[in-house]
Amino acid sequence: MRCAIIATGDELTTGLIADANAAWISARLLDAGLPTVLHLAVGDDLDAIVDAFRIAGARAEQVIVTGGLGPTEDDLTRDAFCQFAGVGTTEDRAAAEKLRVIFAAMQRVMTPNNLKQAQIPAGSTVIENATGTAPGFYMAVAGATYYFLPGVPRECQAMMEATVLPLLVRAGGGRVFRMRLLRTFGMTESQLDEELKVVALPAGVKLGYRAIFPEIHLKLLAEADSEAAADAAVKAAADRVRAKVGEVIYSEDGRGLEEVVLDLARARGLKLAVAESCTGGLVAKRLTDISGSSDVFERGFVTYSNRAKMDLLGVPREILETHGAVSEPTALAMAQGALAHSAADLAAGITGIAGPTGGTADKPVGTVFIATADKSGARAGRYHFARWDRSMVRELTAQAVLEILRRTILGIKEFERR
């Protein structure tokens, strides 16, 4: 069963953005054992979209189309498909009702073009959109089935997972696939590969790597002829991988690192505080991304200036003058200050050079000091997170801070970037 993906939108053919949806969809299709034979992107042009349906339908049995379902003039995908299929549109009552409820809840006036989103091609079936206004739909025409999803990645992905993938797997017949994702941080893809290439996996299980900066996810994909066999195979494979590189695996259930840290702290009744310089609020932001973080995350200090470090954290002026703002003594004083000036049980202090300017021979861009403090004392490490740009240095640093908190709470050996 071959798949093709069509993306519509002038933003693609004018080069404003790359087609990230196609890559994501292809990866998920592959996880489900379905090969993609073609990606197509066309602009907001009715004839070009119809032409794309023809090209894709002649080469694949399953065609996934993203974009062009919104309320404005340049959203033409629905009209193009009606022309291609030779059908009119019909209002989906549930979708129209949902739009009315949403607009009422947001206390916003619904314009006529908003209602256009509830129109679907006659004979098609709605794909529910739990995270946005435009529903999707699917319909078979001349030997191929076309699935229509919004171009917004979050909505497109949620609808693929909830509706389209299960439909495709059912259409595929027979084979059962199981995927398990082991999230790791602290080893590179090639280091993991060196360790794991000697591990014998159960028959039918494939190990893959997915680099999602700054993490590496290990994908275990089991194919079998029953759910029980696939479950058993993927479990056995995970056990063998864990025996080899378990220390760098922080989650096997989809939780992100910030959620793991919060859960570990909550289970032990610990409150956390962070004092950030180079990460500028990113660690606090990641922790508070999680609903319910308020019972663990007590406060954060974004002490970008020296004065803020002295005022808010009590970092001694002599330390800043003798060792500099980016130094191990400053990181230690920040962590200790955050502990002393909060109601937290465990605090982190972060200072470094995110770049692109500010580096020196002794402390090049990417030099970061991370300290933690609790009632048993304080400790710090120096890291060199040289990466391509400022945002990567900051992301890598925030990730390392969370990993250090995880290891500190668990009492396992100090984080060490291999």
Tell me: does residue 92 bind a second copy (CB under 8 A): no
**x/- track of binding to a second copy for residues 229-258 (CB under 8 A):** ------------------------------
Find the binder of a second copy among 304, 316, 359, 379 (CB under 8 A).
304
- Please state the closest distance from residue 269 (CB atom) to a second copy, in A: 15
Q: How far apart are CA 160 and CA 150, in angstroms?
A: 10
- Please state the closest distance from residue 52 (CB atom) to a second copy, in A: 8
Q: Which amino acid is at 175?
A: R
Q: Which pair of structure tokens corresponds to residue 335? A: 């962590």
Find the binder of a second copy among 91, 100, 113, 410 (CB under 8 A).
113
User: CA 319: distance to chain centroid?
Assistant: 39
Work out the number of other CB atoms within 10 angstroms of the CB of residue 283.
29
E-assigned strand segments in 213-339: 215-224, 249-251, 272-276, 297-302
Instruction: Say if residues 370 and 404 touch (Cβ distance below 8 Å).
Output: yes
Q: How far apart are CA 332 and CA 271, in angstroms?
A: 19
Tell me: does residue 333 bind a second copy (CB under 8 A): no
Please choose, out of 160-168, 189-197, 228-236, 403-411, the segment that lies near a second copy by the rule CB under 8 A.
189-197
CB burial of 231-255 (b: ≥16 within 10 Å; e: otherwise) equals eebbeebbebbeeebeebbbbeeee
- Please state the closest distance from residue 273 (CB atom) to a second copy, in A: 9
- Please state the closest distance from residue 411 (CB atom) to a second copy, in A: 26
- Please state the closest distance from residue 194 (CB atom) to a second copy, in A: 6
Residue in the block written with tokens 């919104």: 70
Tell me: does residue 292 bind a second copy (CB under 8 A): yes
- Please state the closest distance from residue 223 (CB atom) to a second copy, in A: 12
Nearer to a second copy, 124 or 399 (CB): 399
Radius of gyration of the chain (CA): 26
171's enclosing H/E stretch is helix 165-172
- Please state the closest distance from residue 343 (CB atom) to a second copy, in A: 6
Please choose, out of 88-96, 244-252, 308-316, 403-411, the segment that lies near a second copy by the rule CB under 8 A.
308-316
Nearer to a second copy, 124 or 251 (CB): 251
Instruction: Say if residues 57 and 142 touch (Cβ distance below 8 Å).
Output: yes
C-alpha torsion sign, points 134, 138, 141, 144: positive
**x/- track of binding to a second copy for residues 347-376 (CB under 8 A):** -------xxxx-------------------
- Please state the closest distance from residue 215 (CB atom) to a second copy, in A: 13
CB burial of 325-350 (b: ≥16 within 10 Å; e: otherwise) equals bbbbbbbbbbbbbbbebbebbbbbbb
Find the binder of a second copy among 32, 33, 46, 59 (CB under 8 A).
59
Of 353, 341, 345, which is closest to residue 295 (Cα–Cα)? 345
Of 126, 9, 146, which is closest to residue 67 (Cα–Cα)? 9
The burial of 176, by beta-carbon neighbours within 10 Å (0-12 exposed, 13-18 middle, 19 or more buried), is given as middle
Please choose, out of 38-46, 78-86, 240-248, 326-334, the segment that lies near a second copy by the rule CB under 8 A.
38-46
Tell me: does residue 194 bind a second copy (CB under 8 A): yes
Of 73, 66, 153, 118, which is closest to residue 110 (Cα–Cα)? 118
Tell me: does residue 390 bind a second copy (CB under 8 A): yes
Nearer to a second copy, 60 or 82 (CB): 60
SS3 249: strand
Tell me: does residue 340 bind a second copy (CB under 8 A): no
Please choose, out of 77-85, 138-146, 229-237, 292-300, the segment that lies near a second copy by the rule CB under 8 A.
292-300
- Please state the closest distance from residue 201 (CB atom) to a second copy, in A: 12
Nearer to a second copy, 20 or 94 (CB): 20
- Please state the closest distance from residue 291 (CB atom) to a second copy, in A: 5
Find the binder of a second copy among 242, 341, 379, 382 (CB under 8 A).
341
Q: How far apart are CA 298 and CA 73, in angstroms?
A: 48
